[in-house]
Structure formats: C-alpha cells, structure tokens
A = this chain, B = another copy of it.
Amino acid sequence: MSTSFQQHKTGDLHFLKRLNRSAILELVRRTPGLTRADIASQAQLTKATVGAGVQSLLKQGWLSEGELQKSSGGRPGRSLYLNERHYAMLGAEVGVHGLRLVACTLSGQRLASHHEPLVPTTPEATAELLAGLLRQLMAAPKVADRHCLGVGVALPGPVAPGQPLLRLAPNLGWRDVRFLDLLRPHLPRQDGVWLMDNEANSAAFGELYFRTGTIPDSLVYVSAGTGIGSGMVEGTHPPLISRGLQGLAGEIGHTVLQPGGLYCHCGNRGCAETLVSGWSLRAALGIAEDESLIDALLPRLQDEGVQRTLRRAGEALGTLLLNLHHTQNPSEIVLGGSLVQLGAPLLDPALAYFKANQNRLLGTTQQVPLRVIEDATFIAARGAAAQVLASVIHGPSDLL
C-alpha cells in the first residue's frame, strides 16, 4: 500500500494532541539529545505541553532519557533520545535477483538482515518464501523482544497509488499483483502497518527519513539496476512520496533520450533504458541472463570494448541526472542500485556531465549534492521499514 497520509482537513482536540506529540517525536528523531526546553522553543509550544507530551512518549517506549546536559548557568536539561529498545520495523525488498530483508530500530539501525539470492518465479512462491524469511527475522534474538510496528515491502515496478497493487514488474514478468494479500496468509501476526511501494520510492524515503540534523527539502533516489527508476520525496512532517496518477512517477528509464533510437521492451524507441540499464548492458556485451552482470563485468573493466560501452551508458546516465535536475530540481540526489558497483568507468562520465552542465542556466556555483551509495543492498528494504515508522507516527495508528 502506498503510504498516503490523508491530509487532515479538520481536527478535533484529540487530533491536536496527536499532532503535537508526533511533532515532539519528530524533533527528537531529527536532533537526538534535545531537552524539553529545546523542544519547547523549537516547536513553539509551552513547557507544560512539551512536558506532558514527553512524559507519555516516555511511558509508551518511544523516547528515553539520557544524560544531563552541561549547565549554562541554570538547571541543566535532560537529554532525550529515541528509545532504541522497545520498537522495531521490518522491511523487505523483492529484487530481480534476490530478496533482501532487514529489521531495524526507530533510528534506522540494522538489528538483523538477510539476503536471499533467487531466480525470478511466481508471485505466490516468492511471497511464501519471503514470509518464511520474515518469520526467521522476527525470531532473531535482537528482534523478538521488541514490539514490531509493521512490515514494508519494496517492489521493482510501479505500484498503484492508494492501493496495495503492483501494476507491473517487467523484469520479474509480473503484472497486477496484490503482493500483500499473498504475503498475509503465511504470517502469523496481522497487526501493525502493512505497506508496499516501488523500491526507488522506498529507498528515497528511507534516505530522507532516517537522516538526522538538517535534512534536505527534497531528495531523489536513482536506482540503476536491471532497469532504471527513481523515487522522489518532498517536504517534511511527513515527507511525501510523489507517485503520480498511475504510479508511473519516477519511471525515468522510459523517458526518451534519443528520439527514433533503439527499440525498448516497452515498445517505444529511444528510452533511457536502451542506453543505460542492466539489460541493455547485457545485450551490448553479450552477457547471459543466468550470469551475474556485475561478476561478469568486474574482471573485464579494462577491456576497451567494455570501457567504451560503459562510458556511453554513463553519458546517458549523466543526461538522465541533468534532466531530473531541470524537471524536479531535488535538493539532493542519491545514486544507488547494482550498477553502481561498476564504479568509475560508468560513473565518472555521468558525474562529469552532470557537474559540467548543472549550473549552465543560472550561472551559479551552487552544486546539488550528489551521493553515490557504494553498497545499496539493503537501502530499499530499510526505506520500506522507514515508511512503516512514518505511517505509525503520522498516520491513523493508535500506537502513538
């Protein structure tokens, strides 16, 4: 399901209390170690309100008290932190070549994780396998004694906004799969939040949501793997994921970069994926489906043919990044996915093109932060867990 927090058009007093408590929790999440007095000034609430809110959050296991801060002439304040021991969230990613699962704390710390290689199969079989692995994860020592807030699943394709329906997963051969419905029967506990989303959306959300300190206004995660997709989160309290009417937002792999170019599996011509993607690299370099693309290429990175192919793909990736810059202009871009492991031969041309052209219009020197994630294995799964947490904090749950 898409984590759509209904915009509370109206509110009663209970809603107001919830709002303020979730604001307190968010502040401590973003800035660990805050005191009640800090919260009061930053949230523009009175000491009394903050005191009451903090007390109930402590009692329910959301916050924990830390050490006394250094005095600045008066009574020192007591630091507040997320209670990392009471709750846990589960996140999973169904990838084209495997399942990835994580359990993590409120701050996003990994408690346990698992990577299960897998060749694509039916949704039903995948769901059953994933359910078994989730049960194992829940039984892990660090996880079992925590209260589980819910499960989030990230999937490699567009998800219908507002309902838990995977519209399409081209690289799995799936279409119109209600994955959560397949998962539920195989799991004992049905309580808590259950949601599913596109993997790039989940990853983007997690990268923004688990950050502390000052956080960017918006963030785009570009996932370069078998296909190419992106996810965008915007705003705060809570960050909102752009999904679009049909869940097609972020399908940048099918933006046209070369009108009249090569045919794409979608039937159109010149899609970005025909220039840069796992499957186009396989096609260009003759690497079979049953072989790992990365494993096949890493030893051959010095080959001139491989270098040339990767450079061309990298230039297309750079164009894609620049087009995102001029379409959504995110405050930060994060680049992940399996292709990142190919390193400089692919990434250098991309980053160089982006850097060279991002400031042409305005003529400024301000650089948009672009971060490359070396090991993106659990990023999407962790992001799905983040969505679970956000859903509890900002959604209709009665746990808070």
Give the contacting residue for A360; candidates B23, B167, B268, B364; CB below 8 A.
B268
Alpha-carbon gap, A360 to B255, bound state (A): 12
Alpha-carbon gap, A9 to B27, bound state (A): 10
Across the interface, do A255 and B168 meet the contact criterion of CB distance under 8 Å? no
On whether A168 and B7 interact (CB within 8 A), knowing A252-B327, A327-B252, the answer reads no
Alpha-carbon gap, A10 to B17, bound state (A): 9
Copies of this chain: 2
For residue A248, CB closer than 8 A to chain B, the reply is yes
Looking at A161, A234, A327, the one whose CB has the most chain B CB atoms below 10 A away is: A327
For residue A374, CB closer than 8 A to chain B, the reply is no
Across the interface, do A168 and B361 meet the contact criterion of CB distance under 8 Å? yes
Alpha-carbon gap, A362 to B9, bound state (A): 33
Looking at A43, A217, A323, the one whose CB has the most chain B CB atoms below 10 A away is: A323
- For A245, the chain B residues whose CB sits under 8 A away are 216-218, 329-331, 368
Across the interface, do B325 and A323 meet the contact criterion of CB distance under 8 Å? no
Give the contacting residue for A257; candidates B12, B234, B257, B360; CB below 8 A.
B257
A1-38 contacts to B (CB < 8 Å): 7-13, 15-16, 19-20, 23, 26-27
On whether A256 and B9 interact (CB within 8 A), knowing A245-B218, A362-B167, the answer reads no
Give the contacting residue for A247; candidates B158, B243, B329; CB below 8 A.
B329
Looking at A234, A256, A326, the one whose CB has the most chain B CB atoms below 10 A away is: A326
A308-356 contacts to B (CB < 8 Å): 315-316, 319, 322-331
Q: Quote the shortest CB–CB distance from A365 to chain B (angstroms).
A: 12
A interface residue count range (under 10 / 10 to 19 / 20 to 34 / 35 or more): 35 or more
Q: Is the interface of A mostly helix, strand, loop or mixed?
A: loop
For residue A397, CB closer than 8 A to chain B, the reply is no
Across the interface, do A43 and B251 meet the contact criterion of CB distance under 8 Å? no
Name which residue of chain B comes closest to A20, CB basis.
B10
- For A15, the chain B residues whose CB sits under 8 A away are 16
On whether A327 and B251 interact (CB within 8 A), knowing A11-B19, A23-B9, the answer reads yes
Across the interface, do A257 and B254 meet the contact criterion of CB distance under 8 Å? no
For residue A292, CB closer than 8 A to chain B, the reply is no
Across the interface, do B326 and A323 meet the contact criterion of CB distance under 8 Å? no
On whether A251 and B158 interact (CB within 8 A), knowing A242-B234, A257-B256, A322-B256, the answer reads no
A253-274 contacts to B (CB < 8 Å): 254-259, 266-268
Across the interface, do A248 and B362 meet the contact criterion of CB distance under 8 Å? yes
Q: Quote the shortest CB–CB distance from A198 to chain B (angstroms).
A: 12
Across the interface, do A158 and B362 meet the contact criterion of CB distance under 8 Å? yes
For residue A215, CB closer than 8 A to chain B, the reply is no
Alpha-carbon gap, A23 to B247, bound state (A): 28
For residue A60, CB closer than 8 A to chain B, the reply is no
For residue A109, CB closer than 8 A to chain B, the reply is no
Alpha-carbon gap, A244 to B27, bound state (A): 24
For residue A236, CB closer than 8 A to chain B, the reply is yes
Give the contacting residue for A362; candidates B19, B230, B246, B268; CB below 8 A.
B246
Across the interface, do A246 and B327 meet the contact criterion of CB distance under 8 Å? no
Give the contacting residue for A327; candidates B23, B249, B266; CB below 8 A.
B249
14 contacts between A and B (CB under 8 A): A9-B26, A10-B43, A15-B16, A16-B16, A158-B361, A167-B362, A168-B361, A234-B240, A244-B328, A244-B331, A246-B368, A248-B361, A266-B361, A324-B327
Q: A residues engaging B (CB < 8 A)?
A: 7-13, 15-16, 19-20, 23, 26-27, 43-45, 158, 161, 167-168, 175, 216-218, 230, 234-237, 240, 242-252, 254-259, 266-268, 315-316, 319, 322-331, 357, 360-364, 366, 368
